Amino acid sequence: MEAGVKGDCRQRILASIAVTLLVWPVLAQLGTSDLAEASLGKRLFILSYSASVLAVPLLLLPYRISIGLLSPLAFLGWAEGWHILHNQSSVTEGAWAATIGTNPSESMEFLRTVWLWFAAGLMSFGYCVFLALRSNSTWKHPRRAWTFIPLVVLLVAAAFDMQRFGSEAKTLQGRFEKLLDFQLMRWERIYPTGPILKLLKVLSERSALVEAKVQLAEFRFDAHFRTSGAPGAQIVVFVIGEATRSDHLSTCGYSRATMPLLQGRDDIFWFCNAIAPANLTHKAVPFLTKRSTPMAPEVGMRERSLLRAFSEVGFRTAWISNQPIHSGGSLETQLIASDADTVIGLNENMDAPSWDRVVLPSLSNLLTTTSIPLFLTVHLMGCHLRYNWRYPPDREIFTPALRGSVSVADFDASHKTKIVNAYDNAVLEQDFVLDSLLRMVKHTARPAIVVFVPDHGENLFDPPHGRILHGSPVPTPQEIQVPIMVWKSSTAGSLDSTTRRILQTNQSKRVCAAQAMPTLLDAAGISVPGSDPSASLLQSALGDKNCPIASPTGEMHWSDDLLRGYQH
């Protein structure tokens, strides 16, 4: 009997350790921005509800089964804790997408910076697996009345929700459907169900993207040339930048001469108040190249990219990229690039020195050997992480700057001066590349348009948030405020006075970065049924826009709200 009591006590102690490893992230939720500003009542409800979700299997199933089923959470909990500590939010869809879609070298670099958290997660997982294998197969928590409290909490919450939906749904089936939708939404916001549901959602979306590509093989926009107006541009170049913010461009008022070659030119128009559609590349690029929006992202699953619209009217299309396309590139970008007639991938490693000038020879070859209308998408590395690897030594003008293979762990506020200097040097490289590109296009003497827009901006330890890089759960102003550059020539080689006047008037307006593609279509004289031609930056009477923005959490924000919130 005494041995049995000791064994039971030992089992309780070991199980309590395992439960602690599983439950502590529930309390960590207090560090999220949602709960930090919530009322005491809401905090208590979320914590009790979250703990109940986790406690039901622990209390009602044998420990060997429950600990075994929940053991992956012992690892996931440390990932959740790290994300809350650094981003004040639970693990987001964007974080899962970036983890799955990033290249192996970047993944290993990230693991090296969080190795303590990673090791703690592995040890916690290993302990729970060990306990599940060694535990008595029939041992379970003694049944007491209080062991059913977590189940009661969940049932009472569901009952209140059902009552609330009574006025919205007239039938019992309708109430259950709304209850299920609401529960899924609630479970996405709490631990432990949130990170798991978000991962499953990302995996499902990636699978749906591949299936949609196959199903849309015969898709057509039914694009056609306009029957009225002047002939459109025969050379159309869309340059997609990376992590470049407006306020670090001297062409947008920055005190440093980061764009000396382009600054002061009266044939280039800068829209310095543009708003990016997202703060992550895999979300932003589809919004820039398709008709999908943060308000209607599902459109991207029903249509191909607008590269196809150019192909339908006889343009030769090409995608030239200094970002990885196949190895380590995002699936979204890879599928969009495949819509082009020619795909030229010049770099398959984002975690290595790579200068954007590498795109110039391929660009020159296409411009000089193609006599038919030409649509080129040029995807730059821009100001992506490891800024010092985005420019050659002769472009290191601002010093001291980062040097060598800088670890992400070194990206802290104490290195801000070197980080900002390296970032500004990376902008200098873009100045050289864009200037060289414009010279090549102008040399063809064909009517042309070039539009440059980054996918999103970048944090550089800016007050008041003090963040670095991009992908914040709630996008910061520095992540969404980007420039748009427009250069256009006519058949005569110069810009007509009407278009010049319109661009000069419009460039002071707040516009959405996603208006770049409608501008290109408009300049080429292409009409796409169902598209809004008034979105073009070449149209007169353009008003300020309140732009929709997709966040890594899957939520949508409005630019006016985000900018106003940070001003306060």
pLDDT tens by residue, 274-329: 999 999 999 999 999 999 999 999 998 899 999 999 999 999 999 999 998 875 56
DSSP run (H or E) holding 175? helix 172-187
Angle (deg, nearest 10), helices 193-215 and 93-101: 60
Confidence at residue 62, expressed as pLDDT on a 0 to 100 scale: 78
Distance CA 98, CA 109 (A): 14
SS (H, E, C) 80-123: HHHHHHHHCCCCCHHHHHHHHHCCHHHHHHHHHHCHHHHHHHHH
Specify the higher pLDDT residue, 74 or 34. 74
Out of 361-365, 401-405, 440-444, 502-506, least confident range = 401-405
**Contact between 434 and 57 (Cβ < 8 Å):** no
Q: Between 405 and 126, name the one with better pLDDT.
A: 126
- Cα 50 from Cα 190, distance rounded (Å): 6
Lowest mean pLDDT among 15-24, 132-141, 211-220: 132-141
84-88, 98-102, 164-168, 433-437: segment of lowest average pLDDT: 164-168
* Most confident region among 58-62, 79-83, 477-481 by mean pLDDT: 477-481
Q: What is the mean pLDDT of residues 381-404?
A: 92
* Amino acid present at 159: A
Mean pLDDT value across the chain: 85
Q: What is the CA radius of gyration of the chain?
A: 27
Q: What are phi and psi of 448, to 5 degrees?
A: -150, 165
Question: Please, are residues 241 and 454 in contact by the beta-carbon 8 Å criterion?
Answer: yes
Between 173 and 219, the higher pLDDT residue: 219
Give the pLDDT score at 360. Answer: 97
Q: What is the pLDDT of residue 370?
A: 87
For 441-471, how does the pLDDT look when each residue is reduced to its tens digit (9 = 90+)? 999 999 999 999 999 999 999 998 888 889 8
Closest CA to 277 of 263, 291, 261: 291
Task: Single out the residue of 54, 46, 512 nearest to residue 284, CA to CA.
Answer: 512
Q: 213 falls in which pLDDT band (50, 70, 90)? A: confident
Given a cut of 50, whether residue 1 has pLDDT beyond it is: no
